[in-house]
Every structure is written in C-alpha cells, then in structure tokens.
Amino acid sequence: METYSLTYLGNLRVKSVHNRSGNEIITDAPVDNEGKGEAFSPTDLVCASFGSCMITVLGIIANRSNINIEGLTAHVSKTMESNPRRIKEITVELNFPANNYSKKEKDIFERAAHYCPVALSLHEDIIKTIKLNF
C-alpha cells in the first residue's frame, strides 16, 4: 500500500508528499475556481495521471515485445462541467515515434491504452477520448 502526506499551505495550495520517495507535488485551485492557477490543479493531476498511466502501460508492452517507443508523447486536455463541478471529458492524443509498426502491434497498443489502471478507475460518466498517431 502506497501512502502520501498532504499539507494545506493556505491560499488554496496543497503540498503532497510521496512518502516512499519523498517526492513532492504542489497543487493550486484553478483560476476559474478562486485559485491562482500557478500549479497543477487536482483535476489536472487526474488527467495527467491518465495520460501517464497509458504511456507507462504502453512502455511495459513495448519492453516485453522489444519495440522501441522512446520519445512517445501525449497531449492531454480536459473539459470541466460546472454543476456539479467535475471532469466531463479527458482527451489524450498519443504520438508515437516513427517506426514501422505492424497492424498487430498497433492493435495491441490501441487496446492497452483503453485499459490502463487509471482509465479503469475513472467514473464511467467521464468521456475518455483517446487518439493514437503512429
């Protein structure tokens, strides 16, 4: 079980510490919700985690299959709803480095991207738009 320690720093800012490593993340409320928007918001982290999880799972598959995907990038965006305030949609566009991927490899990557642990943990009402560019 992973553990984290969070501290409210005031002005809608929170410091989160990953206890095992000591790594820290600062979050701010977004500008459209009374914050400064000087760091990731908690909902930004959800979206970034979604993209990061996909890339990690794809990296695991690529390593197992001896396929080099180093340089894979993702562009992640979110759309919020206001009543109640929540994430409405997360869009992830994955850009694979140039390679001669077979149809089978593309299909495996496509399937895996939709079934990363974060994707499976997100509420079913959140629209998850995923595009893979090979």
Residues 2-23 have a mean pLDDT of 96
> What digits encode the pLDDT tens for the residues 60-92?
999 999 999 999 999 999 999 999 999 999 999
31-69 pLDDT, tens digit per residue, is: 999 999 999 999 999 999 999 999 999 999 999 999 999
Q: Where are the domains of the chain?
A: 4-33, 42-133
Task: Report which secondary-structure segment, H or E, holds 90.
Answer: strand 85-95
Q: Is 109 helix (H, G, I), strand (E, B) or coil?
A: helix
Per-residue pLDDT for 2 more than 90? Answer: no
pTM of the model: 0.90
Task: Please state, as a whole number, how many other Cβ atoms lie within 10 Å of the Cβ of residue 108.
Answer: 17
42-133, what's its fold? GMP Synthetase; Chain A, domain 3 (3.30.300)
